[in-house]
Amino acid sequence: MCQLLGLNCATPTDATFSFTGFCQRGGATDQHADGWGIAFFEGKGLRLFVDHHSAAASPMADFLRHYPLKSTNIIAHVRKATVGQVSLENAHPFARELWGRHWVFAHNGDLKDYQPRLHSHFQPVGSTDSERAFCWIMQELSKSHAGVPSVAELTLTLRELVPQIRQFGSFNFLLSNGEALWAHCSTKLYYLVRQHPFHQATLMDQDWTVDFAQVNQPGDRAAVIVTQPLTKDEQWIAFEPNELKVFVDGLPQ
């Protein structure tokens, strides 16, 4: 299975600490060595980096660990291939445009015999069940709303759509349009909120401790969503099975 990492923040924040630990799971401390990717929203823009090589050994991943891009919404993924070959077009996250905004999606799980009916506008480039599911979600969102919906309206629509995919297998995912971040747990997902008063944290997969009180201001806040907890000294909250949460400004809504 793959692993997911998402950050939703009140102020632009870099993912260097979390991404460094997360990358080790892409072939060093775990077996997710079949590609990786990370997406950073910047205003209306999007920086998307994907690679079909191991994250733990990727020069691009190493560059990003030392080049702290800041964003209020970040989605990362390390892949263990189950459906679709190991190739660049099958590396998550995937991105599409809808209502003049970038949308980004990453999936952990396995959908059996999932072949949704897709219209011409949203078609997969690669061969994964994940990208097919993303295309179908985008298609159905565009059919459900005549104009740009609010975060609350989008959440209600997603609550109706997700069970139609979940019946085909495990469907843990992260989805963002740069305004909010949606996280769905089918089998396993955790989150925490880092906010004032900040404390120190130590990565599980690498020997690195950060005192967040030294690098944050009182108004900073970040929700971190992961498949497996990244740190050994923070209180991670488990999602309930089949739970969909939306995060805005670093808080679950």
pLDDT value for 65 = 84
Residue spans of the domains in the chain: they are 3-252
pTM above 0.85, yes or no: yes
pLDDT digits (tens, 9 = 90+) for 117-126: 998 899 999 9
Question: 129-144 and 151-166 helices cross at what angle (nearest 10)?
Answer: 140
What would the mean pLDDT of 29-44 be, rounded to a whole number? 85
Catalytic machinery residues: 2
CA pair distance 176, 18, nearest whole angstrom: 18
pLDDT value for 201 = 95
* Predicted confidence band of residue 32 (pLDDT cuts 50, 70, 90): low
**Chain mean position to CA 210:** 22
Q: For residue 64, give both structure tokens.
A: 């990003």
Q: For residue 211, give both structure tokens.
A: 């005192």
Edge-to-edge strand list for the sheet holding 251-252: 94-98, 101-108, 172-176, 181-185, 243-248, 251-252
In 3-state terms, what secondary structure has residue 156? helix
pLDDT value for 147 = 85
Among 3.30.70.260, 3.90.550.10, 3.90.180.10, 3.60.20.10, what is the CATH number of 3-252? 3.60.20.10
DSSP lists the bridge partners of residue 74 as: 7, 40
| Angle of CA points 212, 22, 87, to nearest 5° | 150
